[in-house]
Amino acid sequence: MNLHQRLQAQVGAVNTNITKMGRRSVTSRIQEHQTSRIKADLSHWRMALANAENKAYPDRTELYRLYREAVIDSHLTSVTETRTLNILCQPFKVVSIKGQVEDEKLTRMLMTPWFFNILKEAMEAIYWGARVVELGVPVDGEFSSTELIQPEMVVPEWGIIRDRPGSSTGIPYREGLEAQWLLQLGNPKDLGLLHKAIPHVVWKKNAMQAWAEYCDRFALPVRTVKMDLGDEDRVEVENMLRNMGRAAYAILPPGASDFTYHTPQNFQDGVFAGMIDYPNAELSKLVLGQTMTTENGSSRSQAEVHERVSEKYTKADKMYVRNLVMWEIWDKLLLHGYPVAGFEFKWDETETLTKKEQWDIVAGIMQHSGYRVPAKYILDTFGVEVEEKPEPVVAPVVPGTPPVPGKMPARV
């Protein structure tokens, strides 16, 4: 009996009882943390980072509050979604270890929402740090759902899920009975990329706020009225100017000529835009390793270099996800009765051709090789019904009959 069979035998009876009696999920047994929004600043970021890196009592609660503010940023959302979708859109298959033959039934068993959610959370672990997912009780021998444990309630360094906010005790998820239902995704000591993104998001928000204040104050032309400051109508005139709109106004005494007011310059728009573009570029490089797959490029050659960098990131992410599936998820599947022993998860690297590329190959075969392509292949590949083209038959020439000049022999 191999290791997987022994593990399955140890928990088999427990699984049967849980399925019959109904299992109470971990999320229903803990008091989740009430999240709240804050205004992010660098001092808060440093404090939250120090709490998360505390060796005696690591606490990521404040850091996750900052993360929730950071992911509101549209550019950060765009680049993280781009990297995630590069993996979620990759085809995969389950093949035998010996022979590398695909088992279509096992592949279909993993083409499900719960497995898709696990792959998505695996990518989220790159940005948020370690995450813990709870598997639902199998229905008809297959998982039907997964649920993310609230990150604030997880202490990856200790391998526990807090039973209440701020507690130093809780439910262990790497060992014990609950370990078969709980899956850790990502390195327990990794804080994720978002902790490096916080300063750029804060700087960007401050720049946008400063630009908005500048426009509010100086973009509209100032309104001026010259009148005696002691005039009894001055208060009425001032109220009128105030109620006319948000533009600045001034009431000047007669003869005032040195009044000057700032006039917006074009270069100042570039200053504010640059303070926003720079954090965006840094966020792109942090998540994607380059900028030109999300921004306008300056040349085709540079764009090709950036595209190759993007391909390397995707290749590394595929290796990370595959290792996670084989070393973490595969054992859970075996324990819960999935027949995956002797099989492995692989990305489907089969090259896919467009219809035009396929037709160019077919046309080349028919024109230059001397072979014919069956009508059934044309129908299955292109959805076009065609008839087999009969080969011309040349009638034999009767001996002694001279050929007629300019006339081809008759065909039957």
Domain ranges of the chain: 3-195+308-347, 203-293, 353-390
Contact (CB, 8 A) for 52 and 192: no
* CA pair distance 390, 203, nearest whole angstrom: 74
Instruction: Grade residue 411 by pLDDT with cuts at 50, 70 and 90.
Output: low
Residues 279-336 pLDDT 10s: 999 999 999 988 877 776 666 667 777 788 888 999 999 999 999 999 999 999 999 9
pLDDT higher than 70, residue 107: yes
> Which one has a higher pLDDT value, 387 or 286?
286
Contact (CB, 8 A) for 152 and 165: yes
| Global pTM value | 0.75
- At 288, list the tokens: 């994607």
- Tell me the percentage of the chain whose pLDDT exceeds 70: 83
Q: What is the mean pLDDT of residues 198-213?
A: 89
Cβ contacts of 372 within 8 Å, gap of 6 or more = 366, 389
Q: Which of 98-102, 182-186, 249-253 has the lowest mean pLDDT?
A: 249-253
Reported as type and span, the H/E element at residue 252 is strand 249-252
Using alpha carbons, select from 379, 320, 397 the residue that is nearest to residue 125: 320
Q: How many CB atoms lie within 10 A of CB 288?
A: 22
Instruction: State phi, psi for 159 to the nearest 5 degrees.
Output: 70, 35
- At 21, list the tokens: 């009696």
Place of tokens 């010259």: 226
Report the SS3 class of residue 265. Answer: coil
- At 103, list the tokens: 């088992």
Alpha-helical segments (H) within 231-374? 234-243, 266-288, 300-324, 330-335, 355-364
Place of tokens 């001996």: 399
* CA pair distance 307, 327, nearest whole angstrom: 30
- At 41, list the tokens: 């600043």
Q: Which of 6-15, 277-286, 369-378, 402-411 has the lowest mean pLDDT?
A: 6-15
Residues 130-161 pLDDT 10s: 999 999 988 888 898 999 999 999 999 999 99
* CA pair distance 152, 174, nearest whole angstrom: 17
Specify the pairing of strand 182-185 against strand 131-135: antiparallel
- Tell me the percentage of the chain whose pLDDT exceeds 90: 43
pLDDT higher than 80, residue 226: yes
